[in-house]
Amino acid sequence: MYNTKQDLLTEENKRLREEIEQLRKENELLKFPQSSGCLPQFLIDQMDAIIFIKDAGNDFRYFMVNENFCKVQHLSRAEIIGKNDYEIFPPDDARKYREDDEKAVYGKTSYSFQEEVNLPGQNKIILKTTKSYVSASNGNKFLVCISHDVTQSVEKETRLKNAIEIEQAAHQMMKAIFHKLPSAILIKDIEDNYRFYIVNKKFEQMCNMSKEILIGKTDYDVFPKSEADKYRKDDIEASLYTESDPMVIQEIVTSPDRDVNTHLQTFKFSFSFKGKSLLICVGVDITLQHQMMEQIKEALEKAEQADRLKSQFITNMSHEIRTPLNAIIGFSQLIAETEDKEEQKEYHRIVTQNNNLLLTLIEDVLNLSELNSGNVKFNNTEFDFADAFRDLYTQMKEKVFRPEVTFTTTPSLPSILVRTDRERIIQIIGNLVTNAAKFTSKGTIQMGYACKDNGLEIYVKDTGLGFKAKNLESIFNRFKKLNPFIQGTGLGLPICKSIAEQMGGRIWVESEFGKGSTFYVWIPCVVSSIKDK
């Protein structure tokens, strides 16, 4: 029992001595600035930095602080000296400060870092802190901490960094746009013989050369001399122009490999940059617009031609229709008035002839309208072309009968089994024979055919008036009449041409003025068998 009480007293005495020693040290820390004559305290209070000194050998308790530290913490010096971070700051902050303190002390060196600090009643500030381990001659260990408020500097640096990043991003964006622009851009150094200084992708594509090859070259290194001379002349003149009033040039640029012609509307003007006199050349590709304008021009010309042809057609039709109608009306009245049988028979023949002529005119117009609609369907059937050709020859022989004209066909025509549109081929041949009869007052008209190039080549040959060489290209034009004294609308040959082409074939003529003409038509068709009769 005695030993137990004695032990308790010993333990209690030990604890009391430790508390007294701790109070003594705290009292010394509080009295240190005053006992040193206030000089060190005065000096650190005059400094702009936040300064505090901790006793590394006494649980990192604050040994000395300056007024800036007290102002930042909103605490008095008496509330700070002798305390450690855990007694002043929140646990998480105190733990962070202790880790930094130990790093400097255990490393026995200076340790610098930058941190955000939450101050009581204030926004966050950024401090740049240096913690240095100091060992006094009496063996005491101190941690000297000097902090500078770098909030404004960091914010300024951040703004500057962001501005630089934005500028770099904008530069990259402008560079990308520069190379993606559909216009060809070339910048030349005026003072260095107009050498290529900067080019974009469109210009590279137009020249079919990379920028590595183009940069540093002149027009004479890239283009033929004749073209380079023109560009140089334009460049010298454009050097006097500014961006507010550029020189505008319409030109055709040929790529150096001579494969592509590009229509450009080029703007040129001088520009100074970092002491350099530069010539800016911006070429807008107007090739498509040029093509569209050409198409529009062609369409207008066709429209004007169509309008002229329409007027001509109406004039022709008025004359062609009025003539048979007048004959039909006049001779029909004569038939009713005369009692002479022979006269009635002749008048009836004239009326019938003009009825057929009027019907032919109407049929031509309807045929052309149908062919122009694009909705023509061809009825391909299999038949013996020789039989169809002989039947047509018999019919046409009666229609084109004239005493001084011999109408013949090639004897011993081959019998050919074909698959095509019978009616359309007969229509073509009939129109060609009718046309030959109009222009042949004496001599011969011959029709025939032969197998050629997996199709049929049909011909109609006459010894009529023939055509002058200058008219051969226009005889297949619609409403074209080379002889106004010959009846017809000028639609027969155009109808033949349209049918032949829509069947996949073609039509052409060989003629000598005053000696006659030969019209040829080639139609592709499936030939199943060939035999001689």
Give the single-character DSSP code of 310.
Answer: H
The architecture that CATH gives domain 377-533 is: 2-Layer Sandwich (3.30)
Strand pairing report for 405-409 and 380-384:
unpaired
Q: What percent of the chain has pLDDT over 90?
A: 22
**Residue in the block written with tokens 């100074």:** 272
Give the single-character DSSP code of 103.
Answer: H
Strand pairing report for 50-55 and 61-65:
antiparallel
Whether the per-residue pLDDT at 393 is higher than 60: the answer is: yes
Q: What percent of the chain has pLDDT over 70?
A: 85
Tell me what the mean pLDDT of segment 267-284 comes to.
90
**Residue in the block written with tokens 């030969």:** 518
CATH number for the segment(s) 177-285? 3.30.450.20
CATH among 1.10.287.130, 3.40.50.150, 3.40.50.1170, 3.30.470.10 for 295-375? 1.10.287.130
Distance spanning both ends of the chain, measured CA to CA: 156
Q: Which CATH superfamily hosts domain 27-154? A: PAS domain (3.30.450.20)
| pLDDT for the residue numbered 310 | 73
Whether the per-residue pLDDT at 530 is higher than 60: the answer is: no
Same topology, domains 27-154 and 177-285? Answer is: yes
Query: Using an 8 Å Cβ cutoff, are 358 and 487 in contact?
Result: no
Confidence of residue 9 (pLDDT cuts 50, 70, 90): low
Query: Using an 8 Å Cβ cutoff, are 385 and 456 in contact?
Result: yes
CA distances to 142, 207, 346, 394, 507 from 517, in Å: 125, 53, 34, 22, 13
Whether the per-residue pLDDT at 356 is higher than 60: the answer is: yes
Query: Using an 8 Å Cβ cutoff, are 523 and 458 in contact?
Result: yes
Strand pairing report for 443-452 and 455-462:
antiparallel
Whether the per-residue pLDDT at 503 is higher than 50: the answer is: yes
| pLDDT for the residue numbered 232 | 94
Average pLDDT over the chain reads 82
| pLDDT for the residue numbered 257 | 62
Q: Domain extents for the chain?
A: 27-154, 177-285, 295-375, 377-533
Global pTM?
Answer: 0.42
Retrieve residue 443's tokens: 């001599």
Tell me what the mean pLDDT of segment 146-159 comes to.
88
The Cα–Cα gap between 233 and 220 comes to: 12
Whether the per-residue pLDDT at 78 is higher than 60: the answer is: yes
Confidence of residue 285 (pLDDT cuts 50, 70, 90): confident
Whether the per-residue pLDDT at 37 is higher than 50: the answer is: no
Element (H, E) at 92: helix 91-107
Return the exposure string of 104-132: e unless at least 16 CB atoms fall within 10 Å of the residue's CB, then b: bbeeeeebeeeeebeeeeeeebbbbbebb
| pLDDT for the residue numbered 22 | 59
Q: Please list, in sequence order, all residues whose beta carbon lies within 8 angstroms of the beta carbon of residue 451, skipping any fewer than 6 positions away.
A: 414, 416, 457, 527, 530
| pLDDT for the residue numbered 152 | 87
Confidence of residue 506 (pLDDT cuts 50, 70, 90): very high
Lowest mean pLDDT among 58-67, 194-203, 480-489, 505-514: 480-489
| pLDDT for the residue numbered 353 | 75
Tell me: the pLDDT tens digits for 208-217?
889 899 999 9
Confidence of residue 36 (pLDDT cuts 50, 70, 90): very low
Element (H, E) at 147: strand 141-149
| pLDDT for the residue numbered 62 | 94
The Cα–Cα gap between 385 and 418 comes to: 7
Q: How many H-runs (helices) and E-runs (strands) does the chain carry? A: 15, 18
CB atoms within 10 A of CB 221: 13
Query: Using an 8 Å Cβ cutoff, are 420 and 503 in contact?
Result: yes
Tell me what the mean pLDDT of segment 183-198 comes to.
92
Tell me what the mean pLDDT of segment 199-210 comes to.
88
Give the dihedral sign, CA 522/527/531/533: negative
Tell me what the mean pLDDT of segment 201-207 comes to.
86
Tell me what the mean pLDDT of segment 373-399 comes to.
84
| pLDDT for the residue numbered 34 | 45
| pLDDT for the residue numbered 138 | 79
Tell me what the mean pLDDT of segment 13-30 comes to.
60
CA distances to 261, 325, 492 from 285, in Å: 11, 60, 46
Tell me what the mean pLDDT of segment 407-415 comes to.
81
Confidence of residue 84 (pLDDT cuts 50, 70, 90): very high
Tell me what the mean pLDDT of segment 452-476 comes to.
85
Tell me: the pLDDT tens digits for 323-349?
778 888 888 888 888 888 888 888 888
Whether the per-residue pLDDT at 126 is higher than 60: the answer is: yes
